[in-house]
A and B are shown apart, each in its own frame.
Chain A
């Protein structure tokens, strides 16, 4: 499975990060630093796979049921799969036994979806609309797995949700304005 996904600019700034594993803020910061030093300096002749060892996960909250320990704690050997698109690096972290090539294709699928969604996407789109990039990622991935491979379906679902949110927003703004007006008049 995918453990996290990150979009990093060429300067090492994180533009988007999606985590599917439990981890503390400090650990996330360490990982981001690791990734910046491991991935960014690689020249383009090198392959898009980097072997990497993840820091151990934080102790999970004690579960009264005695549920089996998450398998992620057993093996921390990970692979970083990255691809560079213009000034943005897309980095995925997958388990050791996963299909590296398929992960590369997954990156591409996400980028294509972003491109279609924003219409010729650029880094600024992701910076200013990172929430939308997250929503799109949520239509594509769930729990670290790919849920939809059809770009058109992903876009349709994302746009439908956007529309739904827009509609309610307009209504609620009117509503809020009305309420505020009412509140003000009552006070005076």
Chain B
């Protein structure tokens, strides 16, 4: 008795707790409300954990009353990123339930929670088979949804028979779903297992239903893809020609009908299929895609018919609305992809031109994208794209960076000799805008200092991405100049403008090619370049705007770097040194102006180098990239060299005395390299000009422009290189490269033929040495000097004898094998000097 009572009690307790749990099962709405009321993610997690545990218990008990609700809750948790694996089995059970409501939720759960890799899907193959032959179209529709969304290849293979039977069903509702499920089967199965589907397509197209036509077109596209992927491997004769013969005319007819306004089509309500005045744009787009797929490899006659229909589409579709534009866009792609008549292709390109002026940004975007691919393909269409130049260039002003980038790429692509001036002009505007308002070259340092506090550094401040884009655009502009420049002067102007706009972001190859280009040009162009670059980069230092060198560190910070253009100044200094004597003697630049500008540059640079003032500032990014301080230091070196070269070659007394003053002043510079350089120059300039000085500072031999040009043009093909910000080596190492090719120090090694020739020249005729060549080895030896005796070096400045005694050994010690070469040259030079 007691035993029985106990049993009864425990049973009652059990069922009570069960009932409690069951009846307290929260609804989906309650759970969502509670979830939304959570204030922290910890709370959310706790809620989901508790609710999940509850759901799991109910699943374990085999509860059926709340299964649906609980699976829906799981979907909600899944959407918010919580694990729901334990619910997969329950979805499967729901999907197998005879009740439609259960089945619906179960199928939804499967399509959302499970994908084709889950092995449990195989368990439902038989259930699906039963559903596919069900009398209830709603149940069959669910089964087709499973097949189309998540079925594995095995399931698709097992159920192909049932699937194909629905392709020929009477109700459009099932046919369209079956067609898309068949699309999945075609993508997942090999050709020989889907031949039944191929056969069923013409029957589908015989149905008078837009939706069925839409899905049949989708199926056709995937069938053609399948045939192409198969390529006769399965051993079956390709069913493609038969499909084309049966379907292409029907698809074209449906397009014609759609264009003509829906005659001959039966509709439940015509209103629903109209969008913005275009009759069923989705169907038209899909039909055009199918025509494109079927038309590849079609006969001449068939293509003529296609062309006619495309023209009909083009002429009767209004592009002002997005729906119409989508149809026209597909028309354009089909026209250009197939071998259609020239008139159609012309129409297509013109349509793209209209798109460029469309008010919707997305339409402009696709137009530019399509035009770029047309240009890449070349041919007659590319020429007609060129005629749209004005519209394309207008898009360079877009606010949307992705459109802008595309417009720029396209503008570069369509450039040729006839339109380069126009295009490069627009692109320069773009580059200036991109690098944040460069091109204000005329601004003096004085007023720059004033507004410096709130204006960030123009080019250096841009993000890495922006920097890459600037560098890329600069490289492309240089490529345009190299390929299509109408005149050498134009080339010089463009490169000056590019350097002015992007400065340190210009890649090394751009600068080196420009210098190589100048070296092979006639003196008139060289003089022009010297003048132009002087005005762009150096003239502002001559007027006395920097007469007073900045004193406080703060002032130096602002006045010195931010608006400086170190690379432009360096190039200008180099060019002025190399070709300046052509201008200084003949007019253009007065010797005084040149002297004061170069002295000005040196003065402004003076406080920067050797003090580590700008270490780590400015150029972030890859290690080994030079700091702003390095850049400025190189400017000073080049300005000094330029001053010395210019004074020696022009033999102008003003310049000579300025050069002597500068070298003397820098002989006690805190920076080792500069001091070294200054001491050497000072020795050369001591007393009356000797033959050695003239010979040592003689013009450089022309460089190998053709090779440099090749290198520059190759940048576009390996995209990434053009975007490297400032490469490890600047102009100086580039010169080293060209004149001491056997050092092999720089990554972009000069063509060996030229490099060795330069070296031979140097060896054979030591007098043709440019002192810039010493920069490399000496620079490399800085460390040695630093732990050597800086005091000695200070002393070196005092007398030539000391230079003679110490310099060669220092250089040798510093630079190892490459130093031998340099020091041997130095020996020669200095040896001559004392004799």
Which residues of A are in contact with B by a Cβ distance under 8 Å?
14-23, 25, 29, 45-51, 58, 60-61, 63-68, 70-71, 99-102, 104-106, 109, 127-128, 130-131, 134-135, 138, 142-143, 145-153, 157, 160-161, 164-166, 168-169, 172, 176, 180, 187
Contacts and interface: CB of A to CB of B under 8 A. Distances in A.
B211 A150 contact: yes
A20 B149 contact: yes
Contacts of A45: 361, 399-400
B218 interface: yes
9 contacts: A14-B79, A47-B403, A64-B154, A99-B333, A128-B29, A142-B177, A149-B211, A151-B272, A161-B100
Nearest to A17: B79
Contact of B183 (A19, A109, A143): A143
B11 A51 contact: no
A172 B101 contact: yes
Nearest to A44: B361
Contacts of A70: 187-188
B174 to A, nearest CB: 11
B144 A142 contact: yes
Interface of B: 11, 15, 28-29, 32, 36, 64-65, 72, 75-76, 79-81, 83, 99-101, 104-105, 108, 111-112, 115-117, 119, 138, 141, 144-145, 148-149, 152-154, 157, 173, 176-177, 180-181, 183-184, 187-190, 193, 210-211, 214-215, 218, 225-226, 229-230, 267-269, 271-273, 275, 280-283, 285-286, 289, 322-323, 325-326, 329-330, 333, 360-366, 399-403
B112 A29 contact: no
Contact of B363 (A66, A101, A127, A146): A101
A63 B218 CA distance: 25
B115 A100 contact: no
B100 A164 contact: yes
Contacts of A148: 176, 211, 214
Interface centre among A138, A148, A172 (most CB of B within 10 A): A148
A71 B157 contact: no
Contacts, number: 208
B745 to A, nearest CB: 37
Contacts of A127: 32, 36
**Most B CB within 10 A of own CB, among A22, A50, A63, A143:** A143
A88 B32 CA distance: 18
B108 A68 contact: no
A119 to B, nearest CB: 17
Given A19-B115, A68-B226, A105-B323, 20 more contacts: A14-B80, A18-B112, A29-B81, A45-B400, A46-B400, A46-B402, A61-B119, A67-B153, A67-B188, A99-B329, A100-B366, A101-B329, A104-B322, A105-B322, A128-B32, A142-B148, A149-B214, A150-B272, A152-B272, A176-B65
A47 B138 contact: no
B149 A22 contact: no
A135 to B, nearest CB: 7
Nearest to A160: B138
A18 B138 CA distance: 21
B83 to A, nearest CB: 7
Contact of B148 (A19, A65, A143): A143
Given A65-B190, A150-B211, A150-B272, A49 B157 contact: no
Contacts of A150: 210-211, 267-269, 272-273
Nearest to B329: A101
A145 B267 CA distance: 21
